Amino acid sequence: MALDLHAKTKAQAAWEHMTREQKNRQLFLNQKALLDCFLERRAISRAQYEKSLGDLIAKMHVA
């Protein structure tokens, strides 16, 4: 358990030193990974995935 707490502390420390752009990019990657997971497990259709990914890109201004 202590190892998990240490890992979270390192992640939080890294987050605090990121620029706004880096944080936005990381948030985008996390959200995309979640969409990828949903698609892989067939929780959403390819059409839903593509729409959600397109919306995510537009809202987060990611190219």
- The string of pLDDT tens digits covering residues 10-61 is 888 888 999 999 999 999 999 999 999 999 999 999 999 999 999 999 999 9
Residue linked to tokens 């990974």: 33
In angstroms, the CA 53 to CA 40 distance is 14
Residues 6+ apart with CB under 8 A from 31: 56, 60
- Statement: the pTM of the whole predicted model exceeds 0.85: no
- Residue 31: what pLDDT? 97
